[in-house]
Amino acid sequence: MMRRLTVILTACAALFGAASAQQWAAETHPLPLNDNLIHTGVPSCSTAGCHGDQVSGIGAGPVVGQNEYFQWASRGEKGAHSRAYESLLTPHGKRIAANLGIGPAHQAPQCLDCHANNVPAARRTERFQISDGVGCEACHGGAQNWLAFHRIGAGHQANIEAGLYPTENPAARAELCMSCHLGSSFENQFVNHRLMGAGHPRLKFELDLYTTIQQHHVVDDDYRARKSVAPGAQVWAIGQAMGLERTLELLIDNNTGSAGAFPELVFFDCHACHQPISDNSANLNWRPNPGRSLGPGAPILNDANLIMLQAAMRVVDPALAEQLESEGRVLHAASQNSGGQFRRAAETLHATAGAAASRILTADLSSPAAARAMLAEVTSTQLADRYTNYAAAEQALFAVQRLTAATGMASADIKAAIETASREAQSPYSYNQSAFKAALAEIAALSSQ
Confidence check: pLDDT of 19 > 50: no
395 pLDDT tier (thresholds 50, 70, 90) = very high
| Rounded Cα gap, residues 238 and 232, in angstroms | 10
pLDDT, tens only, 264-314: 999 999 888 887 766 666 666 677 888 888 887 788 999 999 999 999 999
pLDDT at 409: 87
8 A C-beta contact, residue 396 and residue 389: no
Write down the pTM of the prediction.
0.91
8 A C-beta contact, residue 81 and residue 133: yes
Higher pLDDT, 219 or 418: 418
| Rounded Cα gap, residues 90 and 95, in angstroms | 9
What single-letter amino acid sits at 320? L
Higher pLDDT, 225 or 24: 225
8 A C-beta contact, residue 368 and residue 361: no
pLDDT at 278: 65
339 pLDDT tier (thresholds 50, 70, 90) = confident
pLDDT, tens only, 156-172: 999 999 999 999 999 99
| Rounded Cα gap, residues 447 and 449, in angstroms | 6
